[in-house]
């Protein structure tokens, strides 16, 4: 059996010359890149936004417009994807103009040496990866620097943590993810985020950082930074980790261990597939759900999973769980213990819609742990 072809990411080539497009396709695909071809600005834009390539190679003088118009359109929403202009030697002024508008490099046509395409691409990707790593380290370093300031002013730390939270209701197709986490004078031990991966998939995570409120505020910011970096890589088609909850747990274990937190946090990461109405998730010592909420009852769906504690002697195995979501069975995550959830579910006035359920479960008076409350509900909406 032959080995599966390597896919190093998607390259978009926009050029009006069919022979040149074919040449680029053969060079890049031979080295394991997936190549998308377009011959106009309009087609190039469609390809870019449907596939999010890791780099764009674009002819300067296209048949329908100037390649710099494609560059300008892309740069309105994407400042970072490497963009290389393909220009005739006689049009160096146009190439320089493209550099001023955000292109990273240019290559003359015809190619003096086919290998220059690969050398240019690899150089840009290495630079881009280093730049992103530098930005990640700078962001976490700034959080470390402000750690003591957060400790001195817990009200400010609480506002900082709250500023990182997503919108309270997220709809995708027939489904809705809603959450509640009331603001209080000190940071919440819990933190969560919800973000879209595609028209079909939405992800979320919930972390429990323990009893130290300042550590919770700092760790919330750091976790948001590293998940944003993972989302950036996913959007550029260079990684699909976010589609595999068990891989996310191993990845988070590595990053969180580098923060030197006083307590090892617990974490759950979920992925909702709106097309098939199913949710996948993996947990690391997280015992706050999911519970399935149905017919005046609740039921825990999985064990909490192994810890994120970094141990050289033991590499934990995180399992990916899966369950269907429908109108009668929303999935619930909450600070409340299972017996208290069951008591709420058995109340005659108990409601089923995700937003209302999340409101009920986040009542501060129902909590026994100094106001640290949260709820997140995944369900169908009417």
Using the predicted structure, report yes or no on whether residue 124 has a pLDDT greater than 60.
yes
The ranges of the chain annotated as CATH 3.60.40.10 are 154-380
- Classify the phi-psi angles of 164: left when phi > 0, otherwise alpha if psi is within -120 to 50, otherwise beta: alpha
What was the pLDDT predicted at 50? 79
Question: Is 249:267 a contact under the CB 8 Å cutoff?
Answer: yes
Question: Is 233 or 27 the better-scoring residue by pLDDT?
Answer: 27
User: Is the predicted pLDDT of residue 2 greater than 50, yes or no?
Assistant: no
At 4, the pLDDT band (50, 70, 90 cuts) reads very low
Q: What is the mean pLDDT of residues 355-376?
A: 63
Q: What is the mean pLDDT of the chain?
A: 81
**Residue that wins the pLDDT comparison between 181 and 138:** 181
Query: CATH 3.40.50.2300 region(s) of the chain?
Result: 10-128
Task: Give yes or no for a cis peptide into 306 (omega within 30° of 0).
Answer: no
- Specify the CATH class of 154-380 in words: alpha beta
CATH topology of domain 10-128: Rossmann fold (3.40.50)
The pTM of this model reads 0.66
pLDDT band at 369; cut points 50, 70, 90: very low
**Residue pLDDT, tens place only, 147-190:** 777 778 888 888 888 998 998 888 888 898 989 888 888 899 99
Scanning the chain, the segments in alpha helix (DSSP H) are 18-30, 41-51, 67-75, 92-100, 115-145, 147-152, 154-163, 213-235, 245-257, 338-345, 354-361
Q: Is the dihedral of CA 139, 142, 144, 149 positive or negative?
A: negative
Pairing of strands 83-88, 55-59: parallel
Work out whether strand 291-294 and strand 331-334 pair parallel, antiparallel, or are unpaired. antiparallel
Backbone angles phi, psi at 200, to 5 degrees: -105, -30
Structure-token pair, residue 77: 């929403």
Q: What does the pLDDT look like over 12-65, one tens digit per residue?
A: 999 989 999 999 999 898 888 889 999 989 899 888 887 778 899 999 887 666
Nearest residue to 149 via CA among 200, 203, 221 = 221
Output the CA–CA distances (angstroms, integers) from residue 78 to 20, 59, 128, in the order listed: 26, 19, 13
What band does 364 get if pLDDT is binned at 50, 70 and 90? Answer: very low
């Amino acid at each position: 059996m032959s080995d599966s072809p390597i896919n190093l990411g998607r390259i978009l080539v926009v050029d009006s010359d069919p022979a040149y497009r074919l040449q680029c396709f053969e060079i890049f695909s031979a080295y394991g890149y997936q190549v998308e071809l377009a011959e106009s600005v309009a087609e190039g834009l469609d390809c870019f936004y449907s596939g999010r390539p890791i780099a764009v190679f674009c002819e300067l003088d296209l048949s329908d417009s100037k390649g710099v118009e494609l560059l300008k359109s892309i740069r309105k929403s994407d400042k970072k994807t490497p963009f290389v202009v393909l220009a005739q030697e006689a049009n160096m002024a146009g190439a320089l103009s493209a550099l001023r508008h955000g292109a990273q490099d240019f290559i003359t046509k015809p190619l003096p040496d086919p290998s220059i395409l690969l050398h240019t691409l690899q150089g840009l990707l290495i630079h881009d990866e280093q730049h992103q790593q530098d930005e990640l380290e700078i962001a976490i370093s700034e959080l470390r620097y402000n750690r003591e300031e957060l400790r001195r002013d817990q009200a400010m730390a609480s506002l900082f943590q709250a500023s990182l939270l997503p919108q309270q209701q997220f709809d995708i197709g027939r489904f809705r993810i809603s959450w509640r986490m009331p603001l209080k004078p000190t940071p919440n031990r819990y933190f969560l985020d919800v973000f879209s991966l595609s028209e079909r998939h939405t992800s979320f995570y919930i972390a429990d950082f323990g009893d130290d409120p300042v550590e919770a505020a700092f760790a919330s910011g750091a976790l948001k930074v590293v998940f944003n970096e993972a989302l950036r890589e996913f959007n550029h088609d260079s990684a699909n980790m976010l589609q595999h909850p068990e891989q996310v747990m191993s990845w988070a274990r590595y990053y969180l261990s580098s923060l030197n937190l006083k307590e090892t946090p617990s974490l759950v990461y979920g992925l909702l597939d709106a097309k098939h109405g199913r949710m996948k998730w993996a947990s690391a010592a997280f015992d706050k759900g999911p519970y399935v909420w149905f017919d005046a009852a609740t039921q825990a769906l999985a064990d909490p999973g192994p810890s994120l504690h970094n141990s050289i002697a033991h590499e934990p195995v995180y399992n990916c769980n899966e369950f269907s979501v429908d109108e009668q069975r929303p999935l619930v995550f909450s600070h409340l213990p299972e017996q208290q959830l069951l008591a709420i579910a058995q109340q005659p006035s108990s409601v089923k819609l995700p937003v209302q359920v999340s409101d009920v479960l986040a009542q501060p008076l129902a909590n026994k742990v100094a106001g640290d409350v949260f709820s997140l509900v995944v369900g169908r909406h009417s």
